[in-house]
């Protein structure tokens, strides 16, 4: 099967023009198929502040009211997405920016929770595999903004990590999919205070052991649990590490590679 890289970058890259340009330059050197999913960054929050739209956080999650949805749609699907595409075009990569509503890429439903109303936040129901396959066959690089829709005209704000995972799982029947999560750290660390202590590979067996020994704990557990969900869904490997080292992450010479 042909390889497909699904690569997610977050706010730390999107917010920093130099890091973003360096990342996109590395991304432009990838041969073969790749999909980029980007998160939001601070621009939406600062625009909301300027516009006087109060941001409510509940348990670390942003509540997306109508005005906030308008702002994230403008910032994620408009400003960030189109500037990434303009840079990729300048690097001679024929890229196309999409939000989940385009080509019915990502259908979702408004999150229902008896205790907390998250507002216009969407949980993904389906990925349009045929559409992605068509576009990849057209030799286009896809860049996805974290906005989905409910099929009834409502746009929804959706977590970029989850989007990357859903796309990776959906495409795993057609491609050998590798899911790359770019984040702030070098990878999963044996010693959280030491960026040099990257655990280069983790599988089911070593994961149990690392948890038992309390090497992996707290915030890292849901991340790795998610990685195993992707692997169980058919993804070949999940690589976690510093987005700035994209090529090394893909080569297996940086970051943590998680396999079954």
Q: How far is residue 115's CA from residue 9's CA, in Å, rounded to a whole number?
A: 31
* Contact string (CB under 8 A) for a copy of itself, positions 151-170, x = contact: xxxxx---------------
Q: How far is residue 98's CA from residue 144's CA, in Å, rounded to a whole number?
A: 5
Candidates 81-89, 115-123, 206-214, 215-223 — which segment interacts with a copy of itself by CB under 8 A? Answer: 81-89
With b for 16 or more beta-carbon neighbours within 10 A and e for fewer, the 208-233 pattern comes to eebeeeebbeeebeebbebbbebbeb
Helices and strands, number each (H, E), in the chain: 10, 14
- Closest approach of Cβ 61 to a copy of itself, in Å? 22
Residue 73 binds a copy of itself (CB under 8 A): yes
Residue 75 binds a copy of itself (CB under 8 A): yes
Closest Cα partner for 256 from 241, 235, 237? 241
Q: How far is residue 162's CA from residue 123's CA, in Å, rounded to a whole number?
A: 9
Residue 49 binds a copy of itself (CB under 8 A): no
Q: Which residue has the tokens 């497909």?
A: 4
Give the one residue of 19, 74, 174, 192 binding a copy of itself; rule: CB under 8 A.
74
Token pair listed for 153:
């005209």
Q: Which residue has the tokens 């702002």?
A: 71
- Closest approach of Cβ 213 to a copy of itself, in Å? 47
Residue 101 binds a copy of itself (CB under 8 A): yes
Residue 8 binds a copy of itself (CB under 8 A): no
- Closest approach of Cβ 260 to a copy of itself, in Å? 35
Give the one residue of 147, 164, 220, 231 binding a copy of itself; rule: CB under 8 A.
147
Nearer Cβ to a copy of itself, position 4 or 98? Answer: 98
- Closest approach of Cβ 195 to a copy of itself, in Å? 32
Closest Cα partner for 154 from 201, 211, 106? 106
- Closest approach of Cβ 155 to a copy of itself, in Å? 5
- Closest approach of Cβ 15 to a copy of itself, in Å? 15
Residue 95 binds a copy of itself (CB under 8 A): yes
Task: Rounding to the nearest 10 degrees, give the CA dihedral for residues 215, 216, 217, 219.
Answer: 140
Nearer Cβ to a copy of itself, position 80 or 168? Answer: 80
CB 168 within 8 A of CB 177: yes
- Closest approach of Cβ 103 to a copy of itself, in Å? 5
Q: How far is residue 81's CA from residue 84's CA, in Å, rounded to a whole number?
A: 5
Give the one residue of 98, 108, 171, 238 binding a copy of itself; rule: CB under 8 A.
98
Closest Cα partner for 31 from 141, 170, 190, 134? 141
List interacting residues with a copy of itself (CB under 8 A). Answer: 50-51, 70, 73-79, 81-83, 85-87, 89-90, 94-99, 101-104, 131, 134, 138, 140, 147, 149, 151-155
């Amino acid at each position: 099967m042909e390889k497909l890289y699904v690569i997610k970058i977050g706010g730390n890259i999107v917010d920093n023009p130099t890091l973003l340009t360096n990342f996109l330059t590395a991304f432009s050197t990838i041969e073969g198929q790749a999909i980029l999913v980007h998160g939001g960054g601070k621009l939406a929050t600062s625009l909301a502040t300027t516009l006087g739209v109060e941001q409510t956080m509940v348990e670390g999650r942003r509540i997306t009211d109508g005005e906030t949805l308008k702002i994230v749609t403008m910032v994620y699907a408009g400003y960030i997405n189109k500037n990434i595409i303009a840079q990729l075009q300048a690097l001679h990569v024929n890229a196309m920016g999409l939000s989940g509503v385009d080509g019915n890429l990502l259908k979702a439903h408004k999150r229902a929770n008896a205790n907390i109303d998250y507002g216009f936040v969407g949980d993904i129901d389906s990925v349009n595999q045929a559409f992605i396959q068509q576009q990849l066959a057209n030799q286009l690089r896809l860049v996805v903004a974290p906005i989905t829709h409910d099929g009834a005209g409502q746009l929804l704000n959706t977590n970029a990590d989850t989007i990357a995972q859903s796309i990776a799982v959906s495409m795993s029947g057609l491609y050998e999919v590798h899911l790359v999560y770019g984040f702030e750290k070098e990878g999963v660390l044996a010693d959280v205070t030491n960026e040099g202590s990257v655990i280069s590979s983790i599988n089911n067996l070593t994961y149990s052991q690392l948890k038992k020994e309390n090497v992996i704990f707290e915030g890292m557990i849901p991340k790795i649990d998610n990685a195993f969900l992707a692997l169980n869904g058919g993804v070949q490997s999940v690589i976690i590490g510093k987005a700035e080292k994209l090529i090394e992450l893909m080569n297996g010479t940086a970051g943590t590679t998680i396999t079954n």
